[in-house]
Amino acid sequence: MLATATAAACRRQGFEVRLYDLPAFDVTNPDHVEPVVKTADAIINCAAYTDVDGAESQSALARRVNGEAVGRLGQLARTQGKWLLHISTDFVFDGELDRPYVETDRPHPINEYGRSKLAGELLLRESGSTHCLIRLEWTYGPHGRNFITKLVERARTSRTLNVVNDQVGSPTATAEVAQVLCTLLGQRAEGLFHFASAGYVSRYDLAAFVFDQLRMDVELKPCRTRDYPEAALRPLNSRFDCRKIQAILPEPIAPWQEPLERFLREL
């Protein structure tokens, strides 16, 4: 989902882009990764195991993809003298703070997916590579499934939907993320950054916005996360403070409504 949008954005800005993906390319296979790193000027790692609930029963696989592979990539980038940009997640936090998370807040993941992503962050730092680490949240886009597309799919078969109203964050379009990644690439930025669209909304109010924009007749019923049990726990507070990355971006971060309206028109 993100890699496709990023490749398109980078090409528009004049970068020569090569995409690598399964099944021909496996980020956990050193024989696949090493020659790619050697021939690249810079690397953006969008590869990830993203099945949050699946990671509870496949924690070893999640750790290999999200943790060990990232550490190995960092080591190769260091030995080859290459700049590396890696993508992480709000799920490294437990969501218990009563304010938006800043980059210096201590991570405390509450599920296997979050633990595997945090392992990748730590191994990347330990690698000694020149790198940039960016945490994202609530991403959606035209490629792949996400909360927005799942909502619309469910609404086509059921006119009554229960949606949690105690998870709060910022829906963030991959198109917006891609532009930010291009900026980081152009600057060869280093360090840890949080990025999300401006403003915050609950999952419930987000669903109401989506169906209003699409003019779909759907009855929404609010529920609590604890009333809708899933295999993996979810952080309730996914809000990011994005002032650090805003300081190096050429334009103000757009409110979440604007890119979502564009996405829904295309959808």
d(Cα 193, Cα 89) in Å, to the nearest integer? Answer: 11
Question: Is 70:124 a contact under the CB 8 Å cutoff?
Answer: yes
Instruction: Name the nearest CA neighbour of 117 among 92, 136, 138.
Output: 92
Write out 108-144 in H/E/C secondary structure.
CCCCHHHHHHHHHHHHHHHHCCEEEEEEECCEECCCC
Chain position carrying tokens 């296979």: 29
Report which DSSP code applies to 245: H
Catalytic residue of the set 20, 49, 101, 113: 113
Burial 82-102 (b: 16+ CB within 10 A, else e): bbbbbbbbbbbbbbeeeebbe
Q: Is 116 exposed, middle or buried (0-12, 13-18, 19+ CB in 10 A)?
A: buried
Residue 182 near residue 251 (C-beta atoms within 8 A): no
Task: Specify whether 113 is catalytic.
Answer: yes
Active site members: 113
